[in-house]
Amino acid sequence: MARALDVLIVDDDDADALMIEEALEGAGVPPVVHRVVDGSQALEYLRREGEYTDAVRPDLILLDLNMPRMGGREVLAEIRRDDTLTAIPVVVLTTSDAVPDIVASYAGHASAFVTKPMELDAFETAVRNISRFYGDVATLPVVPG
């Protein structure tokens, strides 16, 4: 039986974040969605620092690559270096389909790399498939905290 996932969206693009949230709402069991707009905020959220002291540990992170202050590659590297965060699945969800971005993401131990489709229906399907996989198919680690 599926349960509601806690999903952290790390994306500076308001329109993309809204489309992701709307697609997730259409999932069989809609996840609880949290959002930050750049890599620095993502790490503060994940480490429960500053305004995020009461943040919920996400079951899944949807991470854009190109953001101000700290990009997705740096965030991924920090997550994978932190023993308290490294078990959280990170799906890179980005507009890029560049081979170097794909290779770097997997080399940085991303759980998956998904290029955001340009067509709305395909975009929603991709996001729902991610949610369905991590919510219904995959066994997620129980991460303390």
Predicted TM-score of the model (pTM): 0.94
Residue in 24, 21, 68 with CA at minimum distance from that of residue 42: 68
What is the residue-level pLDDT of the chain in tens, covering all 145 positions?
Answer: 456 889 999 999 999 999 999 999 987 778 999 999 999 999 999 999 999 999 999 999 999 999 988 999 999 999 999 999 999 999 999 999 999 999 999 999 999 999 999 999 999 999 999 999 998 888 888 766 6
d(CA 22, CA 39): 22
d(CA 145, CA 122): 35
Which residue segments constitute the domains of the chain, with CATH numbers given?
Answer: 6-121 (3.40.50.2300)
Residue in 86, 63, 78, 98 with CA at minimum distance from that of residue 141: 86
pLDDT at site 76: 98
Please say whether the dihedral angle defined by the alpha carbons of residues 102, 127, 13 and 30, taken in this order, is positive or negative.
negative
Please say whether the dihedral angle defined by the alpha carbons of residues 63, 14, 116 and 137, taken in this order, is positive or negative.
positive
